[in-house]
């Protein structure tokens, strides 16, 4: 477990982060309207509302079940998301079709879920009136993949600014939101290391560092951990969350074990390995924190090494892709300057010849 000095350093780092903005984001109001076949909508709501609840309920469900035969579409203008649940075995009435068409004119973020249907291979695009909607066809509602597919479809249409608030109040979204957060922040840190082009390393490896860049990576990881805590319904007090999770992700544990795993796998210290380690370190920290907030699990050494290897493989792939794109962009930039220089030289020679 980290000592008091480690706790103080971590707390001083977190104290400089504006956690109030993150807390407000997690507590944003959210309204999701689910209209359509009663059994389908009830099943959708149940799947979204059930899940890991280590910290208890975080408020009433934001899902409102309504009937297509009684709702007034214009009253839904302020909804953050509309889910239309359809059953292939239940024929829509003329009134329901009219309401769906009216809802389409509102251009709200929409997911259309069709229960018990297989989409034909030659199926065309959605009708232009609902082209903005995400279509999710669920052949077998009892499939183990259904809940994840539903969560991904909803998050695909729900504004990104509401993802944290949605996960906090709907446990069925949490695992997908957690994975998206971990991947996003890992990519951000990897991109940052590449952009700075400085010898940014993991401190425990005792290699040269740029202190300012290390602070940026640490803060990004701290914000990732705090967002994961809020996504899983933890109380928003940052100090309590720090003391709760630091033994799980603290540098004395995570980075030393990760370093032992990675050092033997990276023979040459260059840009790509640095980017890969930035990605892997952030990814490993995120996964360890995710498991803690989701299930109260503390990863052991063997699990950490397995996560580290997986993270490093992902990090290497991301690093190679980022470096290739950076080189391509650099070559294009150099090419533009070369053409500019050639044109300038030609004009200068013509002018001199006169």
**pLDDT on residue 5:** 42
Separation in Å, CA 34 to CA 31, 63, 169, 312: 10, 7, 16, 41
Q: At what angle do helices 211-231 and 238-249 cross, to 10 degrees?
A: 110
Which tokens hold the place of 300?
């052991």
pLDDT at position 15 is 54
Give the whole-angstrom CA distance, residue 240 versus residue 291. Answer: 18
> Tens digit of pLDDT for each residue in 46-99?
999 998 788 888 889 999 999 998 888 888 889 999 999 999 888 888 898 888
Q: What is the overall mean pLDDT for the chain? A: 78
20-38 CB burial, b ≥16 within 10 A, e <16:
eebeebbbeebebbbbbbe
Query: Long-range contacts: 194-202, Cβ < 8 Å, 24+?
Result: 194/271, 194/275, 194/319, 194/322, 194/323, 194/326, 197/271, 199/274, 200/274, 200/278, 201/274, 201/277, 202/255, 202/258, 202/259, 202/277, 202/281
Region of poorest pLDDT, from 34-38, 176-180, 282-286:
282-286
Taking residue 48's Cβ as centre, other Cβ atoms within 10 Å add up to: 24
Task: Report how far residue 308's alpha carbon sits from residue 284's, in angstroms, rounded to the nearest whole number.
Answer: 6
Q: 313 with 262: CB under 8 angstroms?
A: no
Domains in the chain: ranges and CATH:
4-22+173-330 (no CATH), 31-157 (3.40.50.360)
Confidence band of 268 (pLDDT split at 50, 70, 90): very low
What is the structure's pLDDT at 56? 82
Q: What is the longest distance spanned by two Cα atoms in the chain?
A: 86
Give 185's contacts (C-beta < 8 A, 6+ positions apart). 220, 221, 223, 224, 282, 286
The DSSP bridge partners found for residue 32 are 63, 81
Long-range contacts of 264-268 (CB under 8 A, 24+ apart): 265/309, 265/312
User: Who contacts 178 (Cβ-Cβ below 8 Å, separation ≥6)?
Assistant: 167, 228, 231, 232, 286, 290, 294
Is residue 262 helix, strand or coil?
helix
Nearest to 165 by CA among 26, 32, 56, 293: 26
User: Which of the pair, 275 or 121, is modelled with greater confidence?
Assistant: 275
Residue 324: pLDDT band (50, 70, 90) is confident
Find how far residue 104's CA is from the centre of its chain.
Answer: 28
Please give the pLDDT value at position 342. Answer: 57
Q: What is the pLDDT of residue 108?
A: 93
Range 197-226 average pLDDT = 60
pLDDT at site 214: 66
The answer to whether residue 285 scores a pLDDT higher than 80 is yes
User: ∠ CA(308), CA(183), CA(147), 5° rounding?
Assistant: 105
pLDDT digits (tens, 9 = 90+) for 99-117: 888 888 888 999 999 998 7
């Amino acid at each position: 477990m980290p000592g008091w000095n480690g706790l103080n350093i971590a707390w001083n780092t977190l104290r400089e982060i504006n956690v109030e903005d993150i807390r407000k984001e997690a507590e944003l109001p959210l309204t999701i309207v689910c209209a359509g076949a009663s059994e389908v909508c009830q099943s959708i709501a149940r799947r979204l509302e059930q899940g890991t609840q280590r910290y208890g309920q975080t408020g009433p469900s934001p899902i409102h079940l309504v009937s297509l035969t009684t709702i007034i579409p214009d009253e839904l203008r302020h909804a953050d998301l509309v889910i239309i649940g359809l059953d292939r075995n239940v024929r829509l009435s003329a009134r329901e079709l009219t309401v769906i068409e009216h809802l389409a004119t509102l251009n709200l973020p929409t997911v259309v879920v069709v229960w018990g249907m297989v989409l034909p291979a030659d199926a065309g695009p959605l009708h232009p009136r609902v082209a903005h909607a995400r279509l999710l066809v669920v052949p077998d509602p009892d499939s183990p993949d259904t809940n994840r597919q539903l969560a991904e479809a909803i998050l695909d249409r729900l504004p990104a600014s509401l993802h944290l608030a949605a996960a906090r109040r709907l446990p069925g979204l949490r695992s997908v939101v957690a994975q998206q957060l971990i991947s996003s922040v890992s990519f951000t840190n990897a991109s940052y290391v590449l952009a700075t082009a400085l010898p940014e390393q993991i401190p425990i490896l005792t290699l040269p560092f740029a202190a300012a860049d290390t602070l940026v990576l640490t803060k990004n990881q701290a914000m990732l951990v705090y967002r994961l805590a809020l996504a899983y319904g933890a109380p928003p007090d940052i100090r309590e969350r720090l003391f709760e999770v630091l033994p799980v992700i603290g540098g004395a544990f995570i980075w030393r074990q990760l370093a032992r795993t990675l050092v033997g796998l990276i023979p040459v210290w260059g840009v790509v390995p640095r980017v890969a380690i930035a990605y892997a370190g952030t990814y490993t920290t995120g996964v360890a924190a995710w498991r803690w907030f989701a299930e109260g699990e503390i990863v052991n050494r063997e699990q950490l090494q397995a996560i580290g290897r997986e993270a490093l493989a992902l990090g290497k792939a991301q690093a190679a892709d980022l470096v290739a794109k950076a080189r391509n962009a650099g070559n294009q930039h150099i090419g533009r300057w070369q053409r500019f220089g050639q044109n300038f030289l030609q004009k200068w020679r013509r002018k001199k010849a006169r």
